[in-house]
């Protein structure tokens, strides 16, 4: 196995989880001068918004209202962070 870098996420309750990524991968994904933590945070926001979208729009049957609201909030946070609607980034809308 190659070299790795450790990142840590802290939740709202103070619990922490550390994880390893291949050394240099975050640098490959970053723009010049962009902090590694911003890159990792961007990926987390993007992944969570995509997962919420999948749960709400690509699952069979109705989803509970609270989950639909979480999806709407995730899409709004995505747009605030990246300056474009999630549907545009995904290449489709519902």
The confidence score (pLDDT) of residue 20 equals 98
Domain ranges of the chain: 4-90
Q: Could you read off the pLDDT of 13-22 as tens digits, one per residue?
A: 999 999 999 9
Which pLDDT tens digit goes with each residue over 20-61?
A: 999 999 999 999 999 999 999 999 999 999 999 999 999 888
Please give the structure tokens belonging to residue 78: 């995505």
**What b-and-e string marks burial along 49-68, b requiring 16 or more CB atoms within 10 Å of the CB?**
beebbeebeeeeeebeeeee
Distance CA 63, CA 67 (A): 7
Query: Rounded to 5, what percent of the chain is helix, strand, coil?
Result: 55, 15, 30
């Amino acid at each position: 196995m190659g070299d790795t870098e450790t990142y840590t996420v802290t939740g709202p309750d103070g619990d922490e989880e550390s994880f390893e990524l291949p050394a240099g991968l975050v640098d490959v994904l970053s723009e010049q001068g962009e902090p590694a933590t911003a890159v990792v945070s961007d990926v987390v926001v993007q992944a969570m918004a995509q997962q919420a979208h999948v749960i709400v729009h690509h699952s069979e049957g109705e989803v509970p209202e609270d989950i639909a609201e979480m999806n709407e909030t995730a899409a709004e946070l995505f747009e605030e962070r990246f300056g474009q609607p999630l549907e545009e980034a995904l290449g489709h809308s519902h």
